[in-house]
């Protein structure tokens, strides 16, 4: 099973965000498959780094989009929650990168599924679903 799977909670209605969700799902699936097949360290590390970069870019994009909404209490509360979730995830990704660095000399692949628990991806999807509702309610027409 992939760490992140694209489902209806992943759809925001914004082509660029949804495209990134699909890309993250693809990279997540590739990473899980390569770990399951016990691919060599460099291949798994490369896919992890691609996933890490895609997630970091994605987080920045979502946060920028939320900042385009009218900054009322609902939006500010959601932005805080969304950013907190992203920051926790950023910390996990940094830790994961450090684990790959530490294990690189031995060529040992870290346990990727424990580095990024499934619960983090599930929470991301729940927050993205909330973001979709905020966009529907508050986004200017040119962002809908």
Q: Dump pLDDT digits (tens) for 47-65.
A: 999 999 999 999 999 999 9
pLDDT exceeds cutoff 80 at 19: yes
Q: pTM of this prediction?
A: 0.89
Query: Contact 124/85 with Cβ under 8 angstroms?
Result: yes
Please tell me the predicted confidence (pLDDT) of residue 1: 45
* C-beta of residue 18 within 8 angstroms of C-beta of residue 11: yes
Set out the domains of the chain in order of their start, with CATH numbers: 8-143 (1.20.120)
Quickly state the pLDDT bin for 142 (edges 50, 70, 90): low
Radius of gyration of the chain (CA): 16
What lies within 8 Å, CB to CB, of 76 at 6+ separation is none
Q: Between vectors from CA 48 to CA 129 and to CA 108, what angle results, nearest 5°?
A: 140
pLDDT at 125: 83
Q: How confident is the prediction for the chain on average, in pLDDT?
A: 88
Per residue in 90-136, pLDDT (tens digit) is 999 999 999 999 999 999 998 877 777 777 778 888 898 999 999 99
């Amino acid at each position: 099973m992939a760490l992140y799977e694209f489902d209806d909670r992943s759809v925001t209605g914004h082509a660029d965000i949804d495209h990134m969700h699909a890309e993250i799902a693809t990279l997540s699936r590739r990473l899980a498959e390569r770990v399951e097949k016990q691919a060599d360290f460099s291949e798994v590390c490369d896919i992890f780094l691609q996933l890490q970069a895609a997630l970091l870019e994605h987080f920045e994009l979502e946060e920028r989009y939320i900042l385009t909404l009218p900054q009322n209490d609902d939006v500010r509360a959601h932005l805080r929650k969304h950013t907190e979730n992203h920051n926790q995830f950023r910390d996990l990704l940094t830790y994961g990168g450090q684990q790959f660095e530490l294990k690189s000399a031995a060529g040992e692949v870290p346990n990727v599924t424990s580095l990024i628990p499934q619960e983090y991806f599930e929470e991301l999807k729940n927050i993205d679903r909330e973001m979709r509702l905020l966009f529907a309610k508050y986004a200017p027409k040119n962002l809908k």
